[in-house]
Structure 1
């Protein structure tokens, strides 16, 4: 078997359904499998999986065992030469795995591959590629020096700013939302460290791959949506675990010193404060108009009734693709992408191309009864049922 896609879920039933649908499209031409591990969700994630995807291997944990252990359980059941650790709040393109498999097969001493990630508004997620968060690199991150001096090698290492988001190349650290590697490497590294509940696990695994003389890569030729805020709400529990995770990584890999301990405590408190502030970002105002990328008149009528605002159909198979300024007309617009009409790859391309502070996006996954999306990387997404 070529590939096993490992999806660890916890209480994101609708995002999981959309994710699995996109992965099914992406592995259709491959010898591949999907393994979903549920960390004791209290929503109907498992019921949905059994009803919608009975052919997919579902592992139901009796407790929330954390990101590392949950994924380790899934990989233990995997049969693919390669594995992909994938968040449930993601959407992959139809050719994501085909492209990355082709790239992986050409590499020597391959470590972990990450790809270009965007949020639900189309903005690039800089954590798609990162440097090793040494004390100095962490300092430049905590205090925003990487923003002030983005072209300076001294300050731009945290987000690997030496490498453009539009160029493939070697990087040190990848993000756990999408990590592609050979299963044998994962096993050699003994998987994610289960002593870390979450948040530093991807940094630790990436770093250990480097220590094992492997090369990690950022691959820009495919884009994946990571709604991000859906998998982690920035509350007090998040802050506590983030602090614990960063402390875990530094204590594991760096020599202790008094200065280091003081700096890390101050830095983590500062960064936690920033994250807490970001987590309270307000959602965008209600859209003034709606555009449906589809040819389904009945769907437009249903959405018009739901939003109490006329939903205009845009059929780009008949009309030329337009830019954001043409769509906006000075208004706040929500674009709804009908997946029965627009492939997941095309959905991603549209979101990435038309990104604008006045545009929000939702996807209507095929064969579902909901539209879904996220207007902010710091808040939970929105799900609207369509009866």
Structure 2
């Protein structure tokens, strides 16, 4: 059996409807390349496995037995796969026609490309700004979800960090890192740098992987002609507390591993304290907002209240 051009790794955790839409878009998007799809299930309580066994028997299923997180589940999918290139793809995405073909063609034509990503779009087709420079202290102020970027979307500091927002054409361009919502890496690069770091449960493992890839001298590329819709949206508000925690813990792990590996570096501990304090404030704020917005109970009917 010939080796597929591309392995698409999907991770399931109680998101059957998203996965069905995503899987349909994968197969509908294909033109010439051959693809294998691997679905790693993090112990979902819905019937996603039964649906895929029935409707997509060609999809290879990996049962994790627990909620193992994004990195570990993707690594399990990578381990059982055989494609020449490996694509991480979030279940809440829809692939535009020809996007995967274009990404594979670019990687095949550019042996120095260590990672390739499409242009990720919001459902309204606005660029999500996921092709970025590596995080710095300034990036925390001018990242794609920061209040300053939302209030002043055209400011030059946000543009410097969100590199992709300046690239309005179709020509591929090199960046520091791209979102793991749709990230393709050639198989030989995975073998050389290793898979995703499983210290990360979810969030920031993509930045750390791109950091390792670039340390080999290879480039991380965004290919705007390949387009994928990401239904994640642009706001972190409303995340459950565990996800807020994992986001900030992931940011700390990224900082520790790439910027402050020495445990005696005081910046390592300062960053950790600042990120954990920020996480606590966001969780407290969201909890308060949920209480304020909770609808008032309906009045008890007088016929019942009088009993």
**TM-score, scaled relative to structure 1:** 0.65
Match of 1:179, SS state, is strand
Partner of 1:185: 189
Higher helix residue share: 2
Query: Which one of the candidate residues 211, 215, 230 is aligned to 1:211?
Result: 215
Give distance in 2, aligned partners of 1:61 and 1:267.
30
Cα distance change, pair 76–268 in 1 and its aligned pair in 2 (3 A) = same
Cα distance change, pair 7–149 in 1 and its aligned pair in 2 (3 A) = closer
Give distance in 1, aligned partners of 2:280 and 2:166.
27
Give distance in 1, aligned partners of 2:141 and 2:31.
44
Determine whether 1:107 maps to 2:115: no
Matches within 5 A, 1:132-171: 132-141=134-143, 144-145=147-148, 148=152, 150=154, 152=156, 156-160=159-163, 163-167=166-170, 168-171=172-175
Q: Answer yes or no: is the 8 Å Cα contact 2:196–2:209 preserved in 1.
A: yes
Partner of 1:315: none
Q: Answer yes or no: is the 8 Å Cα contact 2:179–2:207 preserved in 1.
A: yes
Matches within 5 A, 1:72-87: 72-87=75-90
Q: Answer yes or no: is the 8 Å Cα contact 2:249–2:275 preserved in 1.
A: no
Give distance in 1, aligned partners of 2:165 and 2:231.
25
Partner of 1:34: 37
Match of 1:193, SS state, is coil
Cα distance change, pair 229–42 in 1 and its aligned pair in 2 (3 A) = farther
Match of 1:6, SS state, is strand
Give distance in 2, aligned partners of 1:211 and 1:45.
38
Give distance in 2, aligned partners of 1:57 and 1:65.
18
How much does 1:175 deviate? 0.5
Q: Answer yes or no: is the 8 Å Cα contact 1:135–1:264 preserved in 2.
A: no
Cα distance change, pair 149–271 in 1 and its aligned pair in 2 (3 A) = farther
**TM-score, scaled relative to structure 2:** 0.80
Determine whether 1:225 maps to 2:233: no
Q: Answer yes or no: is the 8 Å Cα contact 1:9–1:37 preserved in 2.
A: yes
Give distance in 1, aligned partners of 2:115 and 2:280.
28
Q: Answer yes or no: is the 8 Å Cα contact 1:235–1:276 preserved in 2.
A: no
Coordinate RMSD, CA, aligned: 2.9
How much does 1:155 deviate? 5.4
Determine whether 1:131 maps to 2:133: yes
Q: Answer yes or no: is the 8 Å Cα contact 1:146–1:158 preserved in 2.
A: no
Cα distance change, pair 259–252 in 1 and its aligned pair in 2 (3 A) = closer
Give distance in 1, aligned partners of 2:214 and 2:153.
27
Give distance in 1, aligned partners of 2:89 and 2:9.
6
How much does 1:3 deviate? 1.2
Number of aligned positions between the proteins = 278
Give distance in 1, aligned partners of 2:93 and 2:137.
31
Query: Which one of the candidate residues 240, 253, 258 is aligned to 2:258?
Result: 253
Cα distance change, pair 51–143 in 1 and its aligned pair in 2 (3 A) = closer
Q: Runs of 4+ in structure 1 displaced over 6 angstroms?
A: 274-281
Match of 1:123, SS state, is coil
Unpaired segments ≥5 residues, structure 2: 291-307
Task: After superposition, give the CA deviation of every residue in 1:251-273 in whole Å (9 maximum; x if it has no partner).
Answer: 11113643564355435644775
Match of 2:254, SS state, is helix
Task: After superposition, give the CA deviation of every residue in 1:319-362 in whole Å (9 maximum; x if it has no partner).
Answer: xxxxxxxxxxxxxxxxxxxxxxxxxxxxxxxxxxxxxxxxxxxx
Give distance in 1, aligned partners of 2:107 and 2:28.
20
Cα distance change, pair 96–237 in 1 and its aligned pair in 2 (3 A) = same
